[in-house]
A = this chain, B = another copy of it.
Amino acid sequence: MSKSKMGDPDNSNNNSNSNSNSNSNARSGPAAEHCVDIVHTVVPPPHRSGLQRLGNRLKETFFPDDPLRQFKGQSPARKWVIGAQYIFPILEWGPHYNLRLFKSDVVAGLTIASLAIPQGISYAKLANLPPIVGLYSSFVPPLVYAVLGSSRDLAVGPVSIASLILGSMLRQEVSPLKDPILFLQLAFTSTFFAGLFQASLGFLRLGLIIDFLSKATLIGFMAGAAIIVSLQQLKGLLGITHFTKQMGLLPVLTSVFHHTHEWSWQTILMGFCFLLFLLITRHISIRKPKLFWISAGAPLASVILSTILVFALKADGHGISTIGKLQQGLNPPSWNMLRFQHSHLPLVIKTGLVTGIISLTEGIAVGRTFAAIKDYRVDGNKEMIAIGLMNVLGSFTSCYVTTGAFSRSAVNHNAGAKTAVSNIIMSVTIMVTLLFLMPLFQYTPNLVLAAIIVTAVIGLIDVPAAYAIWKVDKFDFVVMLCAFFGVILISVQHGLAIAVGISIFKIILQITRPKTVMLGNIPGTDIYRNLDHYKDAMGVRGFLILGIEAPVNFANATYLNERILRWIEEYEAEDDVKKEGGGLQFVVLELSAVSGIDTSGVLLFKDLRRALEKKDVELVLVNPLGEVLEKLQKADENGEILRPNNVYLTVGEAVASLSATVKGQCSTTI
């Protein structure tokens, strides 16, 4: 096959080796003297065994970052060091750590701690957990991440969406009010499974799973979740005591307006004042990023101010509910609270999976965003292992699901964090809080926590991004709407599942119905492009030149067969009308975009060849890629598909060479 071209090989070799002034256009220049000898041979790719090819494929699929590259050519001792640094990134940057970096990190650490304390308490309440669990979860996981994580900007702790999902999924089976201990046990066990699942994805290098949450899906999902979360806060902001346990838009609104007699004007007044205050500070920081500390400090300021107000006015006796007494001291161990032999095991595993994927997606997206800004790289699989182990260890020490939070990491970045030490500073600050400051929170009103949550999640509703999606891709916009309405009308998990399902369906549909386009020659060149797109391109008489724009496989072989035959029928019908005569002589398939083929795809070419033979039309293949060429050769024992004179490297060469052959003579100009 490798020398299937008609041209004299010596001659064409000479030509190839001549200087670059020689002409690639088959229809002019010195080439004309040699009569189509400048046709370039399509050669099979260099031989590789099946095992080599499998290895290569697996490597490209699971190790696109080639993690062993840095070990090449290093001494054994150095290899150990690199290995340890690979597992514990702190060993890489730790030795170069200095006072200047430390100063920056202290400022950033204290800033995010002031945000983490009120957010931790609020998010724990969102997850139906005791408020103190939110503080516990801001103490241990940041320490673990500081050792294992590779991002310099990620601020670790509980996040709103994972808290919401954890709380709402567990509440389907267990009531946090009636059975708080069991609920807590299930939360820790779910956290354990979430971490296990996240770390496994990293170890097995299956990070590709989170790629299936597209940008459009996430925008719709986050906006929906933000609305659901905000609606839940109406309980705290309005002071309702008998609130619905459901999450959907309709049940919550029904519940709100069926309990108007429970609305407390003191709560409403104070709550909306603080909400307004927080929203204004947020707005200021968005307008002037240098003033980030205003929005970063506002939640803590609100907590302090509201606590003093409640204490001074003794407002807790006047319808304003407060957090109440919190236990002093560090995280108690919780490995004895993990429940594996339990009737709720399926629920716990499912909750772990969903919260694990969601929080992983957030954590990695945040890490990548800030790495791109500061121009360093985070390794997705390593991050998964870090976040996973952090959650597993967290589940042993009374923490629930944590990850890198977007809002807090942005504050961290703006406050000048240089390394993961800012997480350690935050963690130490929270330790101090846990040890000494817990009694101060006794009079903190719930309404301020609700206001903090609303302010935090309102930023998840990204209208400009939604508009940009509408402008660029209508289908993506539909996916986004499905995620959004799925979340607010059905449930958080179902909305997500529907959006992912539709996205995957679209990919499969694209593969099942690939585009075939008719190519034409751009006058005065050797270039062949889509006739529909390039209006000055012109068809070549006697040739039907089709580009296939997808891998050919079982899912589209039948379709392609029918579609190509229809192209031919249409060509012939048009030819009849024009009475040009001559008719169709060659069907040229340009295969540059056919990146793969399977056995059904190979059959397509055999079937086409046979169908065309009956019409006395020749099938010509142009630029089959390595894999395609190999498989066609293997399947082509009788030389049915690949014959001399029907495989070319470019459409231009195919047309030039075949035109010359038809005329039965060399033509100096055509």
Contact = CB atoms under 8 A, between A and B. Distances in A.
A64 B23 contact: no
Contact of A595 (B22, B214, B375, B550): B550
Contacts of A282: none
Contacts of A80: none
Interface in A297-338: none
Given A534-B43, A549-B595, A524 B214 contact: no
Interface in A46-76: 46, 50, 54, 60-61, 64-66
Interface in A14-56: 15-25, 27-29, 40, 43, 45-46, 50, 54
B533 A626 contact: yes
B669 A214 contact: no
Contacts of A214: 553-555, 598-600
Contacts of A46: 532-533, 535
A510 interface: yes
Q: Tell which of A54, A510, A565 has the most Cβ of chain B within 10 Å.
A: A510
A436 to B, nearest CB: 44
A606 to B, nearest CB: 11
A515 interface: yes
A395 to B, nearest CB: 28
A530 interface: yes
Interface stretch (A117-125, A273-281, A465-473): A465-473
21 contacts: A19-B524, A40-B525, A43-B533, A64-B563, A64-B566, A65-B566, A208-B555, A211-B554, A211-B557, A212-B554, A214-B600, A372-B610, A469-B599, A476-B599, A504-B555, A508-B508, A510-B551, A511-B511, A527-B650, A530-B625, A533-B626
Contact of A16 (B40, B523, B600, B603): B523
Contacts of A471: 634-635
B16 A23 contact: no
A475 interface: yes
A555 B22 CA distance: 43
A432 interface: no
**A-B interface, 8 closest residue pairs, ranked by CB to CB distance from nearest:** A214-B554, A549-B595, A593-B593, A24-B525, A45-B533, A533-B626, A24-B526, A61-B513
Interface string A1-17: 00000000000000111
A596 to B, nearest CB: 6
Nearest to A630: B472
Given A61-B513, A510-B551, A527-B650, 12 more contacts: A16-B523, A16-B524, A22-B28, A40-B525, A65-B566, A208-B513, A216-B599, A471-B634, A473-B602, A503-B554, A529-B623, A533-B626
Nearest to A590: B592
B29 A23 contact: yes
Interface string A537-568: 00000000000011101111111001101100
Contacts of A437: none
A532 B47 CA distance: 11
A472 B380 CA distance: 35
A515 B23 CA distance: 31
A631 interface: yes
A514 interface: yes
A617 to B, nearest CB: 13
A603 B215 contact: yes
Nearest to A592: B592
Nearest to A565: B377
A168 interface: no
Given A532-B626, A549-B593, A635-B471, A22 B524 contact: yes
B45 A626 contact: no
A234 to B, nearest CB: 33
Contacts of A512: 208, 211
A81 interface: no
A151 B581 CA distance: 32
Contacts of A551: 510, 550
A594 to B, nearest CB: 8
Interface in A192-245: 208, 211-217
A261 interface: no
A64 B513 contact: yes
A178 interface: no
B17 A28 contact: no
A64 B562 contact: yes
Given A211-B512, A513-B61, A599-B472, A611 B40 contact: no
A561 to B, nearest CB: 9
Contacts of A15: 524
A96 interface: no
Contacts of A474: 50, 54
A20 B536 CA distance: 14
A555 B472 contact: no
A86 to B, nearest CB: 16
A508 B610 CA distance: 31
A670 interface: yes
A227 to B, nearest CB: 22
Contacts of A592: 592-593
Contacts of A469: 599
Interface string A472-490: 1111100000000000000
A20 B669 contact: yes
A574 interface: no
A604 B515 CA distance: 23
Nearest to A213: B554
Contacts of A526: 24, 526
Nearest to A474: B50
B527 A649 contact: yes
A509 interface: yes
Contacts of A177: none
A614 interface: yes
A64 B559 contact: yes
